[in-house]
């Protein structure tokens, strides 16, 4: 993908994170997406979240498939390795990468075409494997690079730029993920950084697969009247269902936990996700209740956002396989090769 290198020059008074790095140290190349693209706002939120989490850039690995959204890993954390793979195949590449080195922070970026059509199978299986990664699905309901075809997330009745009406039911990644046993499910809006950054930080802290569906309007092909993924529509119908804060390990929890149904979820790294406000009878740690709530309320055309579900003590791929704590790729060959004596002994069985 085309990109333009940005000069790194931080203002002397810029804020620094625990590693002494400024937010500029977490930027990447200049975006070449259309001006006003929702994806660029998400990129900015990712940069902020990774910076705030003080993750050394080289310990981040960025992965994507193909599409407008999949271009964006070039635009954040330039000090990290990135892999812009093939259409719909990022989850498999991520699975292999995670298998090889369990110690990195994996950020996958995908779109609704990449994740819900060509790569739907791979997304489902990445969820099932509970890969320890953040999976940001930049959802605009449209194929941008091929100029405006409906994607599988286009809502029934939604109109394309050319006036066609979508007659097929959409695939909702949030409800799909809940059904498949996803351990962290969120929805947000690219224009809502206040909500998105804490969700991303919680996702980074989550040990398992963190799906974040972010409605991200396409200004060029899907921002017209009749579209249900336009800025106007999303602003009008999106509703913060859940207010959640991310509280790092070191910070004291000062929020006032008084409202009914408020929950504090301890993450495995010692941080806390603090649910400040949730609907009555809603429990973000109860999959069945979350599913039921979404089934009942989302059909009204509302776009319910927030960190919707979390299972903080889930078992990820490596735990399920009882894999070495040392990343597999760092194991010395001497530990891996059984040697000549073992081979000789073994061959006595093949006689």
* Paired sense of beta strands 243-247 and 263-266, if any: unpaired
256 binds another protein (CB under 8 A): no
24 binds another protein (CB under 8 A): no
**Which positions ≥6 away from 123 have C-beta within 8 Å?**
91, 110, 115, 116, 135, 173
Q: How far is CA 120 from CA 138, 151, 152, 251, in A?
A: 14, 12, 10, 39
Length in residues, the chain: 351
Query: Cα-Cα-Cα-Cα dihedral of 235, 45, 114, 316, to 10°?
Result: -120
57 binds another protein (CB under 8 A): yes
| Among candidate residues 71, 220, 221, 87, the one with its CA nearest the CA of residue 160 | 221
Place of tokens 């001497």: 334
203 binds another protein (CB under 8 A): no
Q: How far is the CB of 211 from another protein (least distance, A)?
A: 17
146 binds another protein (CB under 8 A): no
* Number of Cβ within a 10 Å radius of residue 298: 16
SS3 state of residue 209? strand
171 binds another protein (CB under 8 A): no
81 binds another protein (CB under 8 A): yes
Q: How far is the CB of 21 from another protein (least distance, A)?
A: 11
58 binds another protein (CB under 8 A): yes
Place of tokens 């269902």: 241
Q: Which residue in the set 73, 144, 173, 191 belongs to the binding site for another protein (CB under 8 A)?
A: 73
Nearer to another protein, 6 or 276 (CB): 6
Q: How far is the CB of 56 from another protein (least distance, A)?
A: 8
Q: For residues 237 and 68, what is the distance between their CA atoms, to the nearest angstrom?
A: 24
Q: Which residue in the set 33, 50, 93, 212 belongs to the binding site for another protein (CB under 8 A)?
A: 93
329 binds another protein (CB under 8 A): yes
Q: Which residue in the set 17, 24, 34, 83 belongs to the binding site for another protein (CB under 8 A)?
A: 83
Residues of the shown chain interacting with another protein in the complex, contacts defined by CB under 8 A? 1-3, 57-59, 61, 63, 73-74, 78-86, 89, 91-101, 103-104, 121-122, 124-125, 129, 317-318, 321-325, 328-331, 333, 335-340, 342-344, 346-347, 350-351
């Amino acid at each position: 993908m085309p990109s333009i290198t940005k000069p790194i020059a931080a203002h002397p008074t810029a804020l620094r994170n625990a590693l002494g790095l400024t937010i500029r140290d977490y930027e990447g190349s200049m975006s070449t997406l259309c001006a006003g693209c929702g994806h660029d706002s998400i990129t900015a939120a990712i940069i902020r979240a990774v910076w705030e989490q003080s993750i050394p850039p080289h310990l981040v690995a960025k992965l994507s498939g193909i599409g407008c959204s999949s271009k964006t890993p070039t635009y954040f954390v330039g000090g990290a390795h990135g892999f812009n793979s093939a259409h719909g195949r990022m989850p498999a590449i991520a699975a292999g990468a995670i298998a090889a080195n369990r110690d990195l922070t994996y950020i996958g970026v995908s779109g609704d075409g990449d994740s819900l059509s060509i790569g739907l199978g791979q997304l489902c299986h990445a969820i099932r494997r509970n890969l320890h990664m953040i999976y940001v699905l930049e959802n605009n309901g449209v194929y941008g690079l091929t100029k405006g075809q409906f994607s599988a997330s286009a809502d029934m009745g939604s109109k394309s730029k050319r006036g066609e009406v979508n007659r097929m039911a959409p695939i909702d990644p949030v409800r799909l993920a809940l059904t498949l046993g996803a351990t962290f499910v969120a929805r947000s809006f690219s224009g809502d950084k206040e909500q998105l950054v804490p969700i991303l930080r919680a996702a980074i802290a989550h040990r398992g697969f963190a799906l974040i569906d972010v409605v991200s309007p396409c200004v060029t092909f899907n921002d017209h009247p009749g579209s249900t993924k336009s800025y106007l529509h999303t602003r009008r119908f999106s509703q913060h269902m859940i207010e959640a804060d991310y509280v790092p390990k070191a910070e004291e929890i000062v929020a006032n936990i008084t409202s009914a149904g408020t929950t504090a979820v301890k993450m495995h790294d010692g941080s806390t996700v603090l649910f400040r406000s949730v609907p009555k009878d809603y429990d973000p740690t109860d999959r069945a209740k979350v599913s039921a709530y979404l089934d009942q309320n989302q059909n009204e055309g509302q776009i319910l956002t927030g960190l919707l579900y979390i299972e903080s003590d889930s078992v990820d791929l490596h735990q399920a396989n009882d894999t070495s704590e040392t990343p597999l790729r760092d194991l010395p060959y001497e530990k891996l090769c059984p040697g000549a004596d073992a081979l000789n002994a073994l061959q006595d069985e093949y006689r």
